[in-house]
Structure formats: C-alpha cells, structure tokens
Structure 1
Amino acid sequence: MSRPAVARIRLDAFRHNYRLAKKLHGGSALAVIKANAYGHGAVQCARAIADEADGFAVAAIEEALILRAAGITAPILLLEGFFESAELPEIEANNLWIVVHHLWQVEALMAARLYSPLTVWLKMDSGMHRVGLAPEVYRQAYERLKQHPNVAHIVLMSHFARADEPGSNYTVRQIQAFQTAIAGISAPVSLTNSAGVLGWPGAYADWARPGIMLYGANPFAGQAGSFGMSVDERLRPVMQLESALISVRTLPAGEALGYGGIFVAEQPTRVGVVACGYADGYPRVAPMGTAVAVDGKLTRVIGRVSMDMLTVDLTDLPAANPGSRVELWGDQVPVSEIAERAGTIAYELLCNVKRVRFEYTDISTEE
C-alpha cells in the first residue's frame, strides 16, 4: 500500500488540447513543454503527440537534451536561446532551434564555428519589455542573420504581455508594433501563446506556441469578457489531482480545527482529513471555502492547509468515510478556480505538484 495522493495524467486529453490549438489557429504549432511540461512530465507528454506535433518548445538546453535522450526527434525550440556561446556546438549537434533575443546572441552566433546552419527564431520586444530586440534594431539584425552561413531559417516572433486580459487593448498595440517593424520582410511569423490562440484571431500567423491550454487550464480564468466563456468546455483537464480521506470525526460546536484554529465550528461539524498538503503542491494559502469534491460531491476546505494534510467539511456528506476518493482539482474542480482562490495562477499550481505518485493513462481516440 502507498499514500493515496496521486496525479493522474491523461495523455489523451493532452493530445485533444494540442489538436484543438492547431484547429483554432491553423498553420503549425509548437507544444510548449518547458518546466517538465508544466509539472505533467515532459517526456510522457512529448511522446503522446510525437507522431503529429510540429515541434516542441522548452526553456533551455537542459530540458531539450532530456527529450532527445528519450528519443524525441521533432524540432525543439529553446525559448531562452543560449546563455553562452559555448552551448552552440551542442545545440548544433542535437539539431535544436534557438530564440535569439539580444544583440550579444546575434554577435555570438555569427562568430561561432558551426558545420551546419541553425534555425533561428528572432524575437522582438513589442511591449513585453522583458527580452527581445528593440523594434529599431530588429530589421538590421534580421538582415545580418539572413545573410550569414550559420543561419538556415529565421522565424519572426514576439510575445504578448496581456493577451489574457480581454478588456485590454495592449495586445492590439503589440500586434501593430510588430507588424510595423516587419513590414516588407518575407519570413514565417509566430505571435500567439495560449491566450492568443483562444482569444486573438487577429494575431494568427504561421506558428502558434500553445502552453497552458495544452494542460486543460483556462488562461482567462477570473477575467471578465467573452473570450473565456467557452474555454473550459473546449479544453480537457490533463491532471487529475486526487487523494483520499484518511480520517473522519465530528467536531463539537465551539471547537477549533487545525493550526491557528482559524475554523471554529458553529454547530457539530463532520470533518474529513485528506492526505494532501502543501508539500504535495496544494496551495497553503487556499482559503476556507475552496472547492473540493468527495466521492463526486462538491464540498469545501475548512481550516488551514498543512504540509501533509488538509481538512474538508463532510457535514452534508454522511456517506463519506475513510477511503473515500477526493478530487483536489481536475474534472469537477478546475485548477484555475483553485488558483484564483489562492491568489495565483494555474501555471504555478501545476508546476508545484510533487511527492505524489504520477500515473499516466492514454485512451487513444480519433478526432
């Protein structure tokens, strides 16, 4: 026997979400599987769509080499590019694509001694103001790289800062800034992240870079507007974070529960203890009232989440007992809702899942 906390990763749902991204956007799509596929398992997710993915995107070479060692042969883009020129021979040897976002990278690439030219995704800062070449030097960098023997192909790219805010016109401004900077250049283009794919058809181009939507999380969660209205219906949650009740007791009226005694029973309250806590990745700051499902019925978290356990209200669930299945997030309880209650985003919650067992299923279906 083992501790009941488990993350069930449904690879068929991952495949469905990738296909949805491609269908909505058109063209080609890199599946973003950085950070161990947002906590889901990069190798397993890559293998699930290896026969149909146009390519993958990771943060850096370390993540790419894990995929290559696992037999993934599709293109892999390094979203942060290279950190020093000494990486370039290994990038070349493993046939990796690179983002170039700074002038020092342009110079380093042109100075490198390579046997085979590389595919470069040239990144412009259209308003994110994190990394990317300034618009006024972007065209010159493109022309220099285009003519250099170390460069085989160039994709023009930028990244949205506020595409998950339907009410903001900032994305429109970014699109316009990018289009102005590349006017007259004939090369493939990539602009859209998940929010771009789902909500900004005006940004569709040759390549999409879906990330969080591949894992079934809504990038518009908590935002007003129409973009996110049907997102949860179209996406399929990939991770089902589950555990079980390990104890049930009745707390008398007036008694406090757990660390800090932040919950005090106003009436006799049936309390269930779940084998899952913040050491497993469930947010410690999830407030009382956060949704949880026990044996398929919704109830709420009460008391403070601790390292290994959390407590739930079973007063209206008389049939729940030790061993009852508990869904922390998944089909009934969207991870985006938990994130919103905890004051964070689904990305962070998914990336933080650890210590629990990971079980992978893949029900192949034709779509």
Structure 2
Amino acid sequence: MRPLVADIDLDALRHNYQLACRCAPQSHSVAVIKADAYGHGALACAQALQNQAPAFAVASIEEALTLRQGGITQPIVLLEGIFSADELPLVERHGFWIAVHSQWQVDVLLAATPLKPIPVWLKVDSGMHRLGFAPNETAAIWRQLSAAPSVARLHLMSHFATADARDSDYFHQQMATLQALASELKAPLCLANSPATLAWPIAHGDWNRPGVMLYGSDPLEVPNAITQQLRPVMTLRSEIIALRDLAAGEPVGYSGRWRAPKRSRIAVVACGYGDGYDRHAVDGTPVLVNGQRCAIAGKVSMDMLTVDVTDVSDAAIGSDVVLWGTARNGEVLPIDEVARYCDTISYTLLTGVLPRAPRRYHGRSA
C-alpha cells in the first residue's frame, strides 16, 4: 500500500490538554475539536480526552451529532450557535450548549419553550469584528436572556484578535472592555483561546478554549517556556519511492524551478498536494529523512514531492520521511516551521490533510 500516513499520537494530545489545564488551574478547559479536531479525527480525539475534558467545542451541530453518535456524553458547545431555528430541538435533545451572537438567535431562544433550559454563551464583539454583539448593546441582551426560562448557565464569551503577539495594545483594549462588562453584569467569562491560555493569565476565565495548542502547534509569535513543552500530535510520514542521481545544473520537477548546484541525489517521496501537502512549499522547505534534516527541491506535485538527500548517506528506497512531526529517532520537525516555508499557518496544513492520507492512532486509548 502507498506508504503515506498521518500518525496521531493520542498520548501527546492528552499531554497538551493537561498543559492547557496547568496554565489555568482555576479555569475549566473546553477542548476545541472543530474541523475534525483540526484534521486529527474528532471522535478519536474526543474519546482520548473523555476522561479529562469536562466539555468539547465544535463549530456546528453536524460536528456535535457525530460526537454524540460516537458515544461522547460531555457537554458540547456550538461555537457558532444554531444556523436556523429548527436546530433548537436537536440542541435540547442532545444537551448541547450554544453560543448566541445575533439578534435572530436571541429571538428564537426567547420564543422557545424547551423542557429543560439551554446553556448559553453570549458572544460580545470586543474588537474582532466577526460575530457578537457590540459592547454597548450586550448588557440589555444579557438581562433579557437572564430572565428567560428557556436559558440556563449564561456566560459571556469573546475572541481575541491579537493574543498571539508578545505585547499588544489591542489585546489590552479588548480585555478592558470585557472586564468592564463582566463587572457590570457579574458574568462568568469564557475568553481565552490557545494563545491567551498560554500567554495571558489575565484572560483566564471560568472557561478557556484551547484549540490548536492541543495538537502541538505553537500559536505565539514568540515561543515561551510553556509552548516549548507542547508535543506534536500528528506526524505526516511517508517513504522514499525512487532515487535519482543528477549532474550539476540538472532541473527537477515542473518548470525546472530547482537546479542541482552540484552533483546531487534526489529522493522522490510519496506525498503531494493531492494528499493535502501545500503546493506553495518553496525550495528549502525542511523534511526529515531517516531523522536527518533535508530540503524540498522542486515544486510539489499532486502525488509526489522531491527532496535533496545528497548529504544523507543512508537514504534508500523505503527510507522513513517525515513531512512534519516526530521522526523515529526522536527528531522533531515542527509544523509551524513547515508552515512558514509555505507562507501559511499550521491550521491550514493540519486541516488540509486529505482522507487519502489515512489516520493511524497510537496511545493508550488508540
């Protein structure tokens, strides 16, 4: 069979979740597993965390139902709330918690008569300017929902635009807005995403929402002592399927973008953009071959990519190739580093790995 596989280390996932908890010991940490757990497999990741995480968070009711059908019983937060009024009976039936960010959602809740009140996280737009109510209109809506028999366990939530920066005036502006609202309303808070969990204790609330950090990616512009403890969960691994010896000046791949600067050995690896590896990877993008650092040479193709292994004496057909993650000798190639060479972020690489690369789970509950 084709050797490409995405190895998923569930022990590393649990380690990263516990790190999030240690960052904010006074907070509850909801494990964010939207977008199929950032490409890692939502149900498998939820099952691995079900004895640790008090709640999970997803983007839509479809994602939440997949977890329920797989036996996950914890509360599940719908981070974008309902998309239509006819979803509310499903929310009630399955005990989902919902974000509320628009007036029409408020109206649906106020008109509803569920048998059991629905937990609600009211979203305030503190500066991200995507979803949520303006700060000056939030208090009135909060009081409406607080008085509604259809609503239970009301929290205030928001999202930071610049928490990944080492220092950010805008973060402090958002935080001041939220602190003022929370004080006025005596509202429990859910604010911290991964970077705020890792770097901004002031943002730690009743609930935090660690996401990409759970999968071993460092979301901060400048790593700190905590992010250096993160462990990669996904290792995208393949093998060398062919070797070519080239004279100096010979081109490799489409358009001959890379030319051998000297007599070189090129390895062909079974992985390409048809598997989700980013076609924008430039020459020099790092790869591990038998645990040794090498570099991509030439454009990524649909099913293959080419690597300069001139200095890897033991490179052979079948040699282990790590596109990101942990090699068998323990050497780590951070996905954040690969993302920079592709002019993107780790989120797009992780969520972009296609089903053609099978997930293979390891760890105590694999």
**Structure 1 length-normalised TM:** 0.96
1:18-167 matches, cutoff 5 A: 18-26=17-25, 27-167=27-167
Q: What is the CA distance between 1:231 and its match in structure 2?
A: 4.4
CA distance, structure 1, for counterparts of residue 177 and residue 224 of structure 2: 28
- Could you tell me which residue of structure 2 aligns to residue 360 of structure 1? 361
Change (3 A) 1:49 1:283: same
Provide, for residues 161-200 of structure 1, a one-character-per-residue CA deviation record: whole Å limited to 9, x for no partner.
1111223221111000111223232232111000001111
Provide, for residues 266-317 of structure 1, a one-character-per-residue CA deviation record: whole Å limited to 9, x for no partner.
2111000000011111110010001100001111110111111000011111
- Could you tell me which residue of structure 2 aligns to residue 328 of structure 1? 323
1:128-207 matches, cutoff 5 A: 128-207=128-207
Provide, for residues 196-234 of structure 1, a one-character-per-residue CA deviation record: whole Å limited to 9, x for no partner.
0111111111110000000000002xx24xxx1334421
CA distance, structure 2, for counterparts of residue 281 and residue 232 of structure 1: 26
CA distance, structure 2, for counterparts of residue 266 and residue 184 of structure 1: 66
Change (3 A) 1:64 1:330: same
- Could you tell me which residue of structure 1 aligns to residue 298 of structure 2? 303
Q: Tell me how large the CA RMSD over aligned residues is.
A: 1.1
- Could you tell me which residue of structure 2 aligns to residue 319 of structure 1? 314
- Could you tell me which residue of structure 2 aligns to residue 209 of structure 1? 209
Structure 1 stretch 245-254 or stretch 61-70: which is displaced more? 245-254
Aligned: 1:237 with 2:237: no
CA distance, structure 2, for counterparts of residue 320 and residue 230 of structure 1: 35
Find the residue that maps to 1:330 and give its secondary structure: strand
Provide, for residues 85-142 of structure 1, a one-character-per-residue CA deviation record: whole Å limited to 9, x for no partner.
1110111001000000111111111112321110000110000000001111111111
Contact 1:85–1:112 (CA<8 Å) still a contact in 2? no
CA distance, structure 2, for counterparts of residue 106 and residue 212 of structure 1: 30
Aligned: 1:262 with 2:285: no
Find the residue that maps to 2:30 and give its secondary structure: strand
Find the residue that maps to 1:205 and give its secondary structure: coil
2:269 to 249, 271, 274: 274
CA distance, structure 2, for counterparts of residue 114 and residue 325 of structure 1: 55
Q: What is the CA distance between 1:341 and its match in structure 2?
A: 1.1
Contact 1:139–1:182 (CA<8 Å) still a contact in 2? no
Aligned: 1:251 with 2:246: yes
Find the residue that maps to 1:192 and give its secondary structure: coil
Find the residue that maps to 2:282 and give its secondary structure: coil
- Could you tell me which residue of structure 2 aligns to residue 337 of structure 1? 337
Find the residue that maps to 2:321 and give its secondary structure: strand
CA distance, structure 2, for counterparts of residue 264 and residue 339 of structure 1: 23
Find the residue that maps to 1:213 and give its secondary structure: helix
**Structure 2 length-normalised TM:** 0.96
Sequence identity, in percent?
A: 50
Q: Given residue 284 of structure 2, which amino acid in structure 1 is its aligned partner?
A: G
Aligned: 1:219 with 2:248: no
Provide, for residues 138-161 of structure 1, a one-character-per-residue CA deviation record: whole Å limited to 9, x for no partner.
111111111111011101111101
Q: Given residue 192 of structure 2, which amino acid in structure 1 is its aligned partner?
A: T
- Could you tell me which residue of structure 1 aligns to residue 12 of structure 2? 13
Q: Given residue 23 of structure 2, which amino acid in structure 1 is its aligned partner?
A: L
CA distance, structure 2, for counterparts of residue 232 and residue 163 of structure 1: 14
Unaligned runs of 5+ in 1: none
